[in-house]
Structure 1
């Protein structure tokens, strides 16, 4: 079966970014711990899915995504200053640490601490991979039709269609 909307895909990948012209390994999904997802429902980067369209189990892939097609370019305005008052009663975070935050609409996101002063904690609200080109290499392990339950829930329930609940 070929990868198409409403199919569940299990795959391995090695993900690299480029730093000063050198490829840097970021993370991977293995045969023992594959990435399993419902294709075509917006869970994955659109260009990631586009590059996998029509592949079948046993196929390998190797493609690059420009930053604009991945997590976007770095937004120089996506920085914020949080008052140290927000951290009253707890230790101040360290530079480089990631804070789980929530906006007024309940949307959750992560912010990386870039600087700490006596009055403020400065954070970068960009996705950690914003501004980076991505290189994916891997193999398609399995492609199957999604179950009615998976389609109703909008996500895959594992490589075999059964959730571990």
Structure 2
């Protein structure tokens, strides 16, 4: 079966970014711990899915995504300072740590701490991979039709269609 909308895909990948002109390994999904997802429902980066369209079980792939097609360009306006009184009674977060935050509409997002001062904590709201070109290499392990339950839930329930719950 070829990858198409409403199919469940299990694949391996090695992900690299380019830093200072050098390719740097970031993370991987292995045959033992593959990435399994419902194709075509917006869970994955659109250009990631586009590059997999029409591939089938056993096919290898190797493609690059520009930052604009991946997690976007870095937005310098997405750096802000949280007032220090927000952290009263709590440990002040360390530089490099990630804070789970929520806006007034209930949207959850993560902010990476870039500096800490007496007046507040400066955070970067950009995705950690914003501004980075991505390079994916891997293999399609399995492609199957999604079950009715997976389609109604909007996500895959594992490589074999069972969630294990």
* TM interval, short-chain normalised: over 0.9
For 1:112 and 1:69, the matched residues in 2 are separated by 22
Q: Cα offset for 1:75? A: 0.3
3-state secondary structure, aligned to 2:68: helix
Alignment gaps of 5+ in structure 2: none
1:3 equivalenced with 2:23 (yes/no):
no
For 2:114 and 2:159, the matched residues in 1 are separated by 39
Q: Which aligned runs of 4 or more in structure 1 are off by greater than 4 angstroms?
A: none
Q: Cα offset for 1:164? A: 1.2
3-state secondary structure, aligned to 1:77: helix
1:162 equivalenced with 2:162 (yes/no):
yes
For 2:128 and 2:145, the matched residues in 1 are separated by 33
- For 1:24, the equivalent position in structure 2 comes to 24
TM-score by length of 1: 0.99
1:69 equivalenced with 2:48 (yes/no):
no
- 1:34-45 superposed matches below 5 A: 34-45=34-45
- 1:67-106 superposed matches below 5 A: 67-106=67-106
For 1:126 and 1:164, the matched residues in 2 are separated by 34
- For 2:145, the equivalent position in structure 1 comes to 145
- For 2:133, the equivalent position in structure 1 comes to 133
TM-score by length of 2: 0.99
- Number of residues paired by the alignment? 165
Note the alpha carbon deviations across 1:27-50, whole angstroms, 9 max, x for none.
000000000000000000000000
Alignment gaps of 5+ in structure 1: none
- For 1:108, the equivalent position in structure 2 comes to 108
Q: How large is the RMSD of aligned CA atoms in angstroms?
A: 0.4
